[in-house]
Structures are given as structure tokens and as C-alpha cells.
Amino acid sequence: MKGTCVIAWLFSSLGWWRLAQPETDTSQCQRAEHPVTSYKEIGPWLREFRAKNAVDFSQLTFDPGQKELVVGARNYLFRLQLEDLSLIQAVEWECDEATKKACYSKGKSKEECQNYIRVLLVSGDWLFTCGTNAFTPVCTNRTLSNLTEIHDQISGMARCPYSPQHNSTALLTAGGELYAATAMDFPGRDPAIYRSLGILPPLRTAQYNSKWLNEPNFVSSYDIGNFTYFFFRENAVEHDCGKTVFSRAARVCKNDIGGRFLLEDTWTTFMKARLNCSRPGEVPFYYNELQSTFFLAELDLIYGIFTTNVNSIAASAVCVFNLSAISQAFNGPFKYQENSRSAWLPYPNPNPNFQCGTVDQGLYMNLTERNLQDAQKFILMHEVVQPVTSVPSFMEDSSRFFHMVVDVVQGRDTLIHVIYLATGRSMWYRLRNE
Ligand SMILES: *[C@@H]1O[C@H](CO)[C@@H](O)[C@H](O)[C@H]1NC(C)=O
Ligand SMILES: *[C@@H]1O[C@H](CO)[C@@H](O)[C@H](O)[C@H]1NC(C)=O
Ligand SMILES: *[C@@H]1O[C@H](CO)[C@@H](O)[C@H](O)[C@H]1NC(C)=O
Ligand SMILES: *[C@@H]1O[C@H](CO)[C@@H](O)[C@H](O)[C@H]1NC(C)=O
Ligand SMILES: *[C@@H]1O[C@H](CO)[C@@H](O)[C@H](O)[C@H]1NC(C)=O
Ligand SMILES: *[C@@H]1O[C@H](CO)[C@@H](O)[C@H](O)[C@H]1NC(C)=O
Ligand SMILES: *[C@@H]1O[C@H](CO)[C@@H](O)[C@H](O)[C@H]1NC(C)=O
């Protein structure tokens, strides 16, 4: 099960821990030994928070003033003082007995039939949070300064996974729309990227269509410009020999309103591209499975931790992607398969200067400048997004890293990107002391 029972906070003033990458001279950096500091050594700079009975600290977020840390654990929500992780408020959020009983009767264990917090989003003075609630997901909208104050409770279906094992991601836009990428059903066979709440119509990815999503594990999502981006790994539909997982970046236009007759209630702007993180060589060694990302908004860079498959030898790498390289792949040709027996071939992009379109006062036409037939046909980009440097920024054999944050600190004569990596399933976040 995801998460440990401790939240540790590391002062970012500690400097570099695992990897320093000067922005200018990367070759220099690759030659140098990366300084590594053990957990024990940083002990004096660590603060810990524990609470009796609370496990699976899987979600962390901050209040808008970044004075408080909001934490989602199994059956609990906490507010902590950012300075020293002292407790401000603890709120129990458990499933009721009837819901638990129904969960057991569906063959689920005592461990699984609990409320695992999987969505924790701050928007202004409100906290929108969802939990698995014994396979009956539920969402609440609470007052951030008093988490017991619940304003609204709605179904968590299509917003939060049913199972604590399922990986999901969600974000709230300034307009109040919730974008969630999660399994939509009890068995987890219906994954989707789904928009709800707000004023725009609810939309999803096409159902039971492996070309859209093929057993995905969602990792992260970001609201950037006119788009919402999603990062995940999934079974590679374009790879015909054996089962392989590829990592993806996908995006939709935030003002997409879905199709008419064709693609009704479905995204008309959904596209995805493969991310390449590999060790170069005659035969490149691929780190195919994205585990975590960090968006460095100041530089439009997406940092990703990639690992090998669980069934092969353990190895991890960090690759950095330029958002403009991702956009470029989306403007390039598509990869298209005529029918299930034909090969995947490049197909020129019918709309290489694709824009999200503009909202015509109440007119539900041409909101997105994409032909519906094309939108249904072309999902996958032909070009693979290559990282900023062909050699990953960091590689380590025999470990699997799961979480990462990146901080940029001013070195003597260059900016240093400090990457904090964690092997556990606990969460690490970057703090800005501005
Ligand atoms: C939560 O409630 C507040 C106050 O009613 C509302 O403004 C806000 O949009 C709600 N948030 C969500 C995500 O529903
Ligand atoms: C928080 O909200 C609850 C429920 O509305 C209320 O009973 C309690 O007094 C509030 N606590 C504070 C500190 O305002
Ligand atoms: C979710 O991700 C974790 C970490 O990569 C993985 O161990 C787990 O198997 C994933 N869950 C599912 C249902 O695939
Ligand atoms: C991925 O990157 C490696 C190293 O630069 C390169 O050799 C390989 O051709 C790339 N693979 C794809 C599918 O783009
Ligand atoms: C990202 O791409 C933009 C546009 O091509 C470029 O100006 C910028 O230098 C790139 N950033 C990095 C870190 O490579
Ligand atoms: C968003 O889309 C609008 C309309 O197509 C366009 O004018 C604008 O430049 C886009 N904004 C960005 C940041 O790309
Ligand atoms: C909608 O788009 C189509 C094709 O791009 C175009 O032919 C048509 O004139 C547009 N209609 C409106 C009302 O803008």
C-alpha cells in the first residue's frame, strides 16, 4: 500500500542532496560525482510528523499563503504548521459501517475497505478532497481554515479511484473545473480523463478504446496555458510484439466542449505522445515507466523519474523535458493504424498549427478548430518527445525512485538544479521560501 507513516520535511537550505545540475555546463556535471547524503546525516535538518492510527500519507498540499501543509492520510485529514510540522487540526474522515459492510460483501479486505484520500486540492479558501471510501468514492468541499466544516458532499465517481491501489491525478482550474484522470469503475477497467464541475460540459476520453488509454497508470496533471496536460504510463498500443509499457504526455484544450453526433461528451482535442528516457548506446536502454514528475514552471521544464518494469532489474533515471519539445510533437505528424491488422504509419497532421479556438458567445460550434473525424482518428503522435539532454540527468541501478522535487538555487556563478529523490512511496514537495 502506498505511503509510509511519517512525513519528513527537509529544509531546502540544506543545499544539494542527490544531484546538482548546473544549467549551463551539463557535460561538466555528468563527469562529476554527484554528492549523496544519507538520511541519517540529514537527521538534524529533518522534521517529522506522526499521528496515532494514521497511515498512508499519500497527498500533500499547501494553503495559498504557504504557511500550512494540508495532508491526506488514510481516514484522516491534517493541517500542519509548515515551520515545524506541528499539528493545527486533525480531522477523522472514515467510512460508515454500512459502506464498509457493502465493501466486505464485494470481497474486499479490511485494509481496502477504508477511506484513502486520493484527491486534495486547494482553491482559494476551500479544500476539495476525495477519498476511496471503501470502494464508494466520495468528495467533499471544506473550509480550508476549519476542515470539519463541510459545505458540500458529492459522488467521487470519475473523480477519485475506487481502489486505493489505483493511481490517479486531479487538478482544479481557476474556472472551477475539475480534471481527474482515474479509473471510473469498481473493477478499474474503465480509465478516463474526465472533466466535471465548473460551467463547461462534462467530457471524457472515449470509453473502452485502447487507442485512447490502454491500462494507464496516471502520474500527474498540470494546468498550463490553454491546455491541461496529463502524464502517465500505459501499455503501448503501437508496440505489436509483446506487452510493453510506454510513458506519455497527453493534453486537452481547456475550452473543449466535445463533439456533436461524433464524439459527443468526449474530448475533441485529446492527443498524446511518447516520452523517451533512455541510456544512449548502440541499443538504447529504455527506462520506460514514468513514476513521478515535477513541473519547473519558471523554465517550462518537466522533470520525470522513469524506471524499468517491475519484472526486470531495478533501475531509475531522471529525464528533463522541455514543454516546447512536447508542444512540437503535438504539432507534428500522427501515428495511425488503419485497422487492427495493419501497421502503424506516420500520417501528416491535418492541422499542424492547431489552436484551442475561442469561445463564441454561447455558440457551441467550432469551439475547437479540429475536424471531428480527425479528432476521432488521430490520437497518438508519431514523434517521440526527446529529453533536453540525450543522456539522462541522473541514473542509478538497483533502485526504484518514486518521488521527486526540484529546486533551483543560486550557485557561485550558475543556477543549480537540485533534485530530491525518494525511494519510498511517501511524498516530497518543493517549498519555496520566498
Ligand atoms: C466549494 O464551495 C465554495 C463555496 O460554496 C465554492 O465557491 C467552490 O466553488 C466549491 N468548490 C468546488 C470544487 O466545488
Ligand atoms: C469548525 O467547524 C465545526 C463545524 O462547523 C464547528 O463545530 C467548530 O466550532 C469549528 N471550529 C472552529 C475552531 O471554528
Ligand atoms: C500504481 O503505481 C505504483 C508505483 O508505480 C505501482 O507499484 C502500482 O502497481 C500501481 N497500481 C496499479 C493498480 O497498477
Ligand atoms: C530515445 O533516445 C535514445 C538516446 O538518445 C535514442 O538512441 C533513441 O533512438 C530514442 N528512441 C526513440 C523511440 O525516439
Ligand atoms: C526549451 O525550449 C525553448 C524553445 O525552443 C528554448 O528557448 C529553451 O532554451 C529550452 N530550454 C532548455 C532548458 O533547453
Ligand atoms: C490560447 O488560445 C487562443 C485562441 O486560440 C490564442 O489566441 C492564444 O494565443 C493562446 N494562448 C497561449 C498561451 O497559447
Ligand atoms: C466551422 O469550421 C468549419 C471547418 O473548419 C468551417 O468551414 C466553418 O465555416 C466554421 N463555422 C463557423 C460558424 O465558424
3-state secondary structure 177-192: EEEEEEECCCCCCCEE
**1-10, 175-184, 272-281, 349-358: lowest mean pLDDT where?**
1-10
Write the pLDDT tens digit of every residue in 145-183: 999 999 999 999 999 999 999 999 999 999 999 999 999
For the cut 70, the answer to whether the pLDDT of residue 417 exceeds it is yes
Phi-psi bin for 197: left (phi > 0), alpha (psi -120 to 50), beta?
left
Pairing mode, strands 203-204 and 217-224: unpaired
* Confidence band for 425, pLDDT divided at 50, 70 and 90: low
pLDDT in the model for residue 89: 97
- Give yes or no for residue 366 CB within 6 A of ligand 7: yes
C-alpha cell at 176: 472551477
Distance from Cα 121 to the centre of ligand 3, integer Å: 22
CA angle 50–53–54, rounded 5-degree value: 55
Write the pLDDT tens digit of every residue in 194-221: 999 999 999 999 999 999 999 999 999 9
pLDDT in the model for residue 370: 66
CA angle 337–339–345, rounded 5-degree value: 20
- Give yes or no for residue 143 CB within 6 A of ligand 2: no
What span, in angstroms and rounded, lies between the C-alpha atoms of 69 and 77? Answer: 11
Q: Which CATH number fits domain 18-36+95-113+132-147+163-422: 2.130.10.10, 3.60.10.10, 3.30.70.360, 1.10.3720.10?
A: 2.130.10.10
Q: In this structure, are residues 410 and 17 in contact, taking their beta carbons and an 8 Å threshold?
A: no
| Mean pLDDT, rounded, for 384-398 | 94
Q: Which residue has the higher pLDDT, 319 or 362?
A: 319
Across the beta sheet with 271-275, the strand order is 217-224, 227-235, 245-253, 271-275, 380-381, 334-337, 344-347
pLDDT in the model for residue 432: 37
pLDDT in the model for residue 430: 41
- Give yes or no for residue 146 CB within 6 A of ligand 2: yes
Give the chain's mean pLDDT.
87
Write the pLDDT tens digit of every residue in 359-389: 554 444 554 556 888 888 899 999 999 999 9
Distance from Cα 176 to the centre of ligand 1, integer Å: 8
Distance from Cα 100 to the centre of ligand 2, integer Å: 27
Distance from Cα 137 to the centre of ligand 4, integer Å: 40
What span, in angstroms and rounded, lies between the C-alpha atoms of 39 and 257? Answer: 49
Q: In this structure, are residues 394 and 34 in contact, taking their beta carbons and an 8 Å threshold?
A: yes
pLDDT in the model for residue 369: 55
Residue located nearest, by CA, to atom 6 of ligand 7: 366
Query: Which listed ligand is nearest to 306 at the C-alpha?
Result: 3
| Chain center to CA of 292 | 7
Across the beta sheet with 76-81, the strand order is 59-62, 68-73, 76-81, 87-92
- Give yes or no for residue 1 CB within 6 A of ligand 5: no
pLDDT in the model for residue 361: 44
pLDDT in the model for residue 161: 97
| Mean pLDDT, rounded, for 348-355 | 86
Q: In this structure, are residues 147 and 140 in contact, taking their beta carbons and an 8 Å threshold?
A: no
At 97 the three-state DSSP class reads: helix
For residue 297, give every residue at least 6 positions away whose Cβ sits within 8 Å of its Cβ, in sequence order, or none. none
Mutate which of 288, 306, 384 for ligand 4? The one with the most ligand atoms within 8 Å of its CB, which is: 384
| Mean pLDDT, rounded, for 119-142 | 97
For residue 187, give every residue at least 6 positions away whose Cβ sits within 8 Å of its Cβ, in sequence order, or none. none
For the cut 80, the answer to whether the pLDDT of residue 86 exceeds it is yes
pLDDT in the model for residue 410: 87
What span, in angstroms and rounded, lies between the C-alpha atoms of 364 and 261? Answer: 13
What span, in angstroms and rounded, lies between the C-alpha atoms of 306 and 274? Answer: 13
Phi-psi bin for 85: left (phi > 0), alpha (psi -120 to 50), beta?
left
pLDDT in the model for residue 278: 97
What span, in angstroms and rounded, lies between the C-alpha atoms of 38 and 217? Answer: 30
Proportion of the chain in helix, strand, coil states, percent, rounded to 5: 10, 40, 50
For the cut 80, the answer to whether the pLDDT of residue 77 exceeds it is yes
Write the pLDDT tens digit of every residue in 2-40: 333 445 444 333 333 333 333 444 444 444 456 667 778
For residue 43, give every residue at least 6 positions away whose Cβ sits within 8 Å of its Cβ, in sequence order, or none. none
What span, in angstroms and rounded, lies between the C-alpha atoms of 295 and 405? Answer: 9
What span, in angstroms and rounded, lies between the C-alpha atoms of 434 and 415? Answer: 16
| Residue extents of the structural domains in the chain | 18-36+95-113+132-147+163-422
pLDDT in the model for residue 124: 93
**53-57, 237-241, 395-399: lowest mean pLDDT where?**
237-241
Mutate which of 141, 143, 196 for ligand 1? The one with the most ligand atoms within 8 Å of its CB, which is: 141
pLDDT in the model for residue 153: 97
Distance from Cα 419 to the centre of ligand 5, integer Å: 19
What span, in angstroms and rounded, lies between the C-alpha atoms of 425 and 403? Answer: 7
Distances from the Cα of 47 to the Cαs of 55, 56, 79, in angstroms?
Answer: 17, 18, 15
Write the pLDDT tens digit of every residue in 216-244: 999 999 999 999 999 999 999 998 778 89
pLDDT in the model for residue 296: 96
Of 232, 153, 134, 222, the closest CA to residue 192 belongs to 232
Name the pTM for this structure.
0.90
